[in-house]
Amino acid sequence: MANTPTTPVYDYLCIDQYLTDFMDVQLLKSAFENGLIDLLQSRPHNLAELQSALHTDSVGLRFMLDLLGHNGVILNNGETVCLTQEFEHALQYRSLMEVKIEFANFLAPDVMQSMSAFIRDEREFMANSRLFELFDYQRALESTPENYQFTQRWVSLTTALTQHEAQVCLDHHDFSSYQQLMDIGGNSGEFVSQICRANPNLQATVIDLPVVCEVGNNHLKGRSEASRIQFQPANALEDKLPTNQDIVTFKSILHDWPEPGSQRFLSQAHSSLKPGGKVLIFERAPINLATAYKHGNLAFGNLPTFLFFRSYRPASIYVNQLQDLGFTDINIELIPLETDFYLITASKG
């Protein structure tokens, strides 16, 4: 993708070219569901074999194949059909593709039915939005089978993104000198899991709501680094958090809260850090829609990200908050992904 680094940690961004348009996404979803992708991944097939295996008529099959061919998913020479080499490469990120398709489709009715409200007033839109329903943190306070299932659904989206975004963060920040890390709003623990895997001497604590911690413990079960990761259920805005930390991290969490909330989170981090300890913020920058259109990043599959466009703040806001708390040695790095990220670090004076 244009203007995006090409080292391996950025490779997952190749999937967005297949998730650009609504109809392309729906046909790709169908191709996953009806087994077409699996069939073609095993070997090329002719039209008769595909029609029999998919239980479809010839007109419907040709319609699907034509659109998938236009989207660069398949090659059809008239006799046999196969996957393109580029799409075969993208299939290593199949789980991320399927998660992005699921959540974009989940939220698409909000945009189709309430675009005027979305533009006019965020609170009006959110009051009637499935987006608000999806990220209802109140459901993460009490452990019940229903709340667990509900919380697990939105955690699966954030985890799928974090699985790859964590590698980008690791590519830009050296964690090897730390022994104690605390991740506030750490979700499923995927972020600290990736960091701990790369840094065997690191111990980590994930702070999040009770049901999220329950989902996270199950998510990390069986991983070699799981024994070095502790989940601590807490309200990070109010509860006393562990101290003596070398680094406190915030990954895609501060934008969820009004500025007083993000200030409070950073204050908690300051209280938890050793003198000289680091705070690290890995957050989306405000979306430049003109740039996104120009470089083809405004894909339908990224709809859940774009619906939060009002929440992504300039780095200057976090810098001011850090300075007010007495942090020093503030560093800002802009990292282009499907939208830009800020990597902000600062030291406790």
Model confidence over 6-24: pLDDT tens digits?
578 999 999 999 999 999 9
Cα–Cα dist 58/51, whole Å: 7
Q: Which residues contact 46 (CB under 8 A, 6 or more apart)?
A: 79, 80, 81
Give the tens place of pLDDT for each residue, 286-333.
987 766 665 556 789 988 888 888 899 999 999 999 999 999 999 999
Q: How far apart are CA 193 and CA 251, in angstroms?
A: 13
- What local confidence, expressed as pLDDT, does residue 292 receive? 62
How many C-beta atoms lie closer than 10 Å to residue 210's C-beta? 18
Which backbone phi and psi does 267 adopt, to 5 degrees?
Answer: -65, -40
Domain 8-95 belongs in CATH node 1.10.10.10: yes
Whole-angstrom distance, CA of residue 212 vs CA of residue 152: 8
201 pLDDT exceeds 60?
yes
| Structure confidence by residue, pLDDT tens digits, 315-325 | 999 999 999 99
- DSSP label at residue 17: G
The reported pLDDT for the residue numbered 293 is 60
Confirm if 132 and 139 have CB atoms less than 8 A apart: no
Query: Which CATH architecture describes the domain 161-348?
Result: 3-Layer(aba) Sandwich (3.40)
| Three-state secondary-structure class, residue 204 | strand
Sorted by where each begins, the domain ranges of the chain are 8-95, 161-348
Q: How far apart are alpha carbons 59 and 273 in whole angstroms?
A: 64
What token pair was written down for 104? 């974009």
Say whether 108 sits in a helix, a strand or coil: helix
Cβ(184)–Cβ(207) below 8 Å: yes
Would the pTM of this model clear 0.85, i.e. be above it? yes
Using left for φ > 0, alpha for ψ between -120 and 50, and beta otherwise, residue 108 falls in: alpha
